[in-house]
Amino acid sequence: MGSSTAEHRASELRQLLNRAAHAYYVLDAPEMEDPVYDRLYRELLDLEMAQPELIAPDSPTQRVGGAPAQGFSSVRHRIGLLSLDNAFNSLELEAWYGRLLKVLDREPSTALPMVGELKIDGNALALSYENGVLVGAATRGDGEQGEEITANVRTIGSVPLRLQLAHPPDWLEVRGEAFIPDDTFAAINAERGTRGEALFANPRNACAGTLRQLDPKVVAARRLDFFAYTLHFPDGWQAAPGDPERPSSQWESLQWLQQAGFKVNPNAALLPDLAAVEAFFEQWDTGRRALSYATDGVVVKLNDLRLQDAAGFTQKAPRWAIALKYPAEEAPSKLLRLTCQVGRTGVVTPVAEFEPVPLAGTSVSRATLHNADRLLELDLHAGDTIVVRKAGEIIPEVVRVLPELRPSAAVRLELPHTCPECGSQLVREEGEAATRCVNSSCPAILRGALRHWVSKGALDVDGLGSKLIEQLVDRALVHSIADLYRLDGALLSSLERMGSKSAENLVAALGTSKSQPWHRQLYGLGIHHVGEVNAKALAKAFPSASDLATAAIETPEAITAVYGIGQEIAQSLQQWFATPANQELLTVLERLGFSLAASEEELRSAAASSAAANLSGQTFVLTGTLPSMSRSQAQALIEAAGGKVSGSVSKKTSYVVAGAEAGSKLSKAESLGVPVLDEEGLKELIAP
């Protein structure tokens, strides 16, 4: 067969087979007999084997192919893949809706159409298409970057390798949920049982484990499924004639996804108001029992995509969507003992240990009780029968005690007065819920500080896990973070489960960690209230530890001037840098080779940003819908230029940026004499 004839036939076979796969996996309406499909598949495979140049990314032969992977690389999401905030009852749902109306500047009585979708108990995926062909797939990860698992996702029959569009966009991002149906899950566990392997606790865990298999053939054998629910287009893209039009709502997005070849959950509903949302939620509380896959709630999304843009995001989740969860399964158990754990900040947390009970697919035998107030509220006694559940189907919690089953003469349980780790007197400051050990030499505090320092978000030291940290502390080989960098290979190789090669690798990893960016070093210090996001903001504003220390102690107002940093963080920084032991730690770290400062490259980048920061010290309020950018994009522009964005108008507001359908914020600005800009005016103001 000539090359041009073979190329034409291969293209024809790919189209036939992909259409047949879509009918089988997505529409559940097979249009081709299995023997016919197999014969055509074999013909395509033979063509590709004879002429490898005919192999294309959208070929069905590529759903399972290639050698097992050596591991998974990290990939940054083009668009953040954030989690959703949760609500567990109608009051929390109404509170979320009230916040949404407020940020959209709408009256409390406004009814906004919503879309209700079942919350599938699986694993979120980000799919990347270029010119209509699947080119990448990644796990959620931390929301900014995940693991690249394209070869595994290709094995999922309901994920199209090529979009069913005549003129697809240059790129397209599709988000959805991979899951394992209940009957498939049962078959997987039955097979594992016959081989003497550990059983998966639930379908979600089985799905997560499957997606991270290094061999795509194993993934293919487990027959995962996929529902798509969100998509992102290039700015300004519009559909060509004959293709479905670009959607303007979430409801239209689901229809668009179906037309493009994706499987969409058929149980979604367009809901006119909050009452309809609550009815939808109640309907599926019982209806979900008949489904062939696990679901633990419903997802509620604002339907209008322009309003979604206007609502924007918090640091962790979209404001325009929420997961409304069904009540967790509850089970009784007998309390065996009350223990306490000490965290890296010295907070002492009571922990209930009880007879194991099965909950949401796992065996549970312990739950934290938060603090002394919660312990008192539960009125917990030795030997009590307690009711346990999983909050959000993840975190075990003690819901209540059954006092009618309490043993006679049972003793009430309280927090100890001394630290269970070091014996120091515990302290509870007035107005605080937490009880703390304030002994900085406490082994538990040191272990927690070390675990935090070497964690992925901080110094990211590979090979230094909890077991090894426990050995180092218990043998008094390490008394501070700095002592880690005095360890040598000979000493480390003498420890349990540490060979000479592992010790050598760990010493090298510790040496490499000294070059981590300043914001990671700052986060790793474990200063109370300073998380990863705050550490980045502070490191950008104060390019060295000495700069930050000076500001924290002498000019705390400079700390609170940083966007997103409040009084609580400023006070925490002041206390930390004023502590002599912490001052000594910084001195020793510098001696050991840490710069505790931004690199020249970071400084150049910051200088470039500062040069464009012509809105420094000015506060903006956004209202209405802008013509060519979303509210979150406008906010990003303002913040990149040094300005701040506030949610409410006051006399201190520098400008109000108003678009179409601007509400009461515009009226308030006019009454206070605050200058009002349109989108063009904002761009002119930002332009250097």
Between CA 150 and CA 130 the distance in angstroms is: 14
Terminal-residue alpha carbon distance, the chain: 63
CA 394 to the chain's CA centroid: 14
User: Residue 493 is inside which H or E element, if any?
Assistant: helix 489-493
User: How far is CA 341 from each of CA 338, 381, 416, 443, rounded to the nearest angstrom?
Assistant: 10, 19, 11, 12
- Report how far residue 559's alpha carbon sits from residue 530's, in angstroms, rounded to the nearest whole number: 12
Q: Which of 595, 599, 647 is nearest to 623 (CA)?
A: 647
Percent of the chain that is helix, strand, coil (3-state, to 5): 40, 20, 40
**Spatial contact of 134 and 159, defined as CB atoms under 8 Å apart:** yes
Name residue 482's amino acid: A
Strands (DSSP E) along 106-193, which ranges?
Answer: 114-120, 123-130, 133-139, 145-147, 171-179
Give all strands of the β-sheet with 114-120 in edge-to-edge order. 86-87, 321-325, 295-302, 114-120, 269-271
Q: CA–CA separation, 555 vs 575, rounded Å?
A: 13
Q: How far apart are CA 376 and CA 92, in angstroms?
A: 26
Does the CA dihedral 524-527-531-532 come out positive or negative? negative
The answer to whether 532 touches 459, Cβ cutoff 8 Å, is no
User: Judging by beta carbons within 10 Å of its beta carbon (0-12, 13-18, 19+), is residue 403 exposed, middle or buried?
Assistant: exposed
Buried-exposed string 331-351: b where 16+ CB fall within 10 A, e elsewhere: bebebeebebebbbbbbbbbe
Q: Hey, which residues are catalytic here?
A: 119
Tokens of 426: 């515990």
Q: Do 122 and 207 meet the contact criterion of CB atoms below 8 Å apart?
A: yes
- Alpha-carbon span 654 to 676, nearest angstrom: 9
Helix axes 545-554, 580-591, angle to 10 degrees: 160
Strands 385-391 and 330-342: antiparallel
Across 425-547, the runs of DSSP E, i.e. the strands, are 426-427, 436-437
Count of Cβ atoms closer than 10 Å to residue 503 Cβ: 20
Q: CB-based contacts of 380: which residues, under 8 Å, 6+ apart?
A: 335, 338, 352, 369, 386, 398, 401, 412, 413
Q: What are phi and psi of 123, to 5 degrees?
A: -135, 125
C-beta of residue 333 within 8 angstroms of C-beta of residue 363: no
Measure the CA–CA gap between 293 and 121, rounded to whole angstroms: 8
Q: Which residue, among 626, 684, 618, has the nearest Cα to 655 in the 3D structure?
A: 618
Burial of 131-150, coded b for 16+ CB within 10 Å and e otherwise, reads: ebebebbbbbbeeebbbbbb
Question: What is the Cα–Cα distance from 505 to 489, expressed in whole angstroms?
Answer: 9
Helix 679-686 / helix 631-640 crossing angle, nearest 10 deg: 20
CA distances from 201 to 185, 186, 296, 393 (A): 10, 11, 16, 13
- CA distances (Å), 519 to each of 238, 310, 575, in order? 41, 31, 19
